[in-house]
Amino acid sequence: MEPWRTAITDAGAEHIRIRGYDITELMQHASFADTLYLIHRSRLPSPGERRLIDAILIASSDHGPGAPSALAARVAASGNRRAPEAAIAAGILAIGDYHGGAGEQCMVLLAEGIQWAEREGRTLIEAAERIVDRALERRERLPGLGHRTHQEDPRATLLFALATEHSVAGKGVELIQAIQREASRRIRPLPINVDGALAAVLFDLGFEPIAARFFFIVGRVAGLTAQVYEELHRERPMRIHVPVEYDGPEARALRSEDAR
């Protein structure tokens, strides 16, 4: 049987190295954001890159108990008091295309738009117009835009400010902002949400689209641990009851021919 191959961690009897760096040296001189970047990119980040990764993780960490991941985690903790890991896993499983997954979809959209502009010799404003045209034609939502609560997502605003401050902002940030302006002009005012902001920043940092989902998950786990802890220590078991309205068939008798 051939051994598994990995370029991430070398763990032996005398050492533990992540991408070649001794883990005890990382523990002394690096941050968690440094290590997360290192694990994915095989190099340590610059100070600006580290600041952006930290900001993305913080922005993703929690959005209250009503978010699908936190709600799922608390429901699981309400019924299973002895397995916090199961409740956290339930929260992670609630993350998907409509909760935490739009960043990946947005990164794909940005990559396609930028590639089209470069290939056709067009501007990013023209790419934004094309993207909004297509969304309207197909009656599709634009990932990374819109929010149920915020008219302006403060997390997105700050991520863009940090990306500019640390000279990270590039074509990804430029394009998502152009899409937002075009969509607001032709559809309705739509803010760039945290998914759209982290997608643009991660794109400009050189990550592939799936990284948007990975980084959201890593950040959100921190919030899920706190949500589960609060549920276990402040609330009684089985306290979560969702209102249910039955709209199925009326009461009916089972006839002999139905049971055959």
Does the predicted model carry a pTM greater than 0.75?
yes
146 and 22, same structural domain?
no
Q: Is residue 155 part of a domain?
A: yes
Q: What pLDDT, on a 0 to 100 scale, did the predictor assign at position 109?
A: 96
Q: Do residues 233 and 178 share a domain?
A: yes
Going from the first residue of the chain to its last (260 residues), give the mean pLDDT of each consecutive group of 10, the final group possibly shorter.
Answer: 93 95 97 97 97 96 94 94 95 92 95 96 96 94 83 91 96 97 92 94 96 96 97 89 91 78
- 140 & 207 share domain: yes
| 258 within some domain | no
Instruction: Check residue 52 and give its pLDDT.
Output: 97
**Cβ-contact 75, 88 below 8 angstroms:** no
The answer on 81 and 19 residing in a single domain is: no
For residues 258 and 260, give the distance between their C-alpha atoms in angstroms, rounded to a whole number. 6
10 bridge partner residues: 17
Specify whether 55 is located in the same domain as 41.
no
14 is in which domain, residue-wise? 9-45
Together in a domain, 27 and 125: no
Are 18 and 143 in a shared domain? no
Give the residue carrying structure tokens 């197909």: 138
Looking at the structure, do residues 57 and 39 belong to the same domain, yes or no? no
Structure token digits, residue 64: 């209250």
What is the reported pLDDT for 258? 66
- Determine the Cα–Cα distance for residues 98 and 95; give it in Å rounded to an integer: 8
Dihedral, CA of residue 72, residue 74, residue 75 and residue 79, to nearest 10? 140
Q: What is the pLDDT of residue 254?
A: 86
- Domain contains 133: yes
Q: Are residues 24 and 114 in the same domain?
A: no
Predicted local confidence at residue 152, as pLDDT: 82
Beta-strand pair 21-22/16-18: antiparallel
Asked whether residue 247 is assigned to any structural domain, the reply reads no
In a domain, residue 250? The reply is no
**Do 36 and 160 sit in the same domain of this protein?**
no
**Can you give the pLDDT at residue 256?**
73
254 domain-assigned: no
CATH of the domain at 142: 1.10.230.10
Assess whether 28 and 111 both reside in one domain.
no
In a domain, 95, yes or no: yes
Tell me how many domains the chain contains.
2
Does residue 184 share a domain with residue 64? yes
Tell whether 1 is covered by a domain.
no
Among 123, 189, 190, 198, which residue's Cα sits nearest to residue 160? 198
pLDDT of res. 255: 81
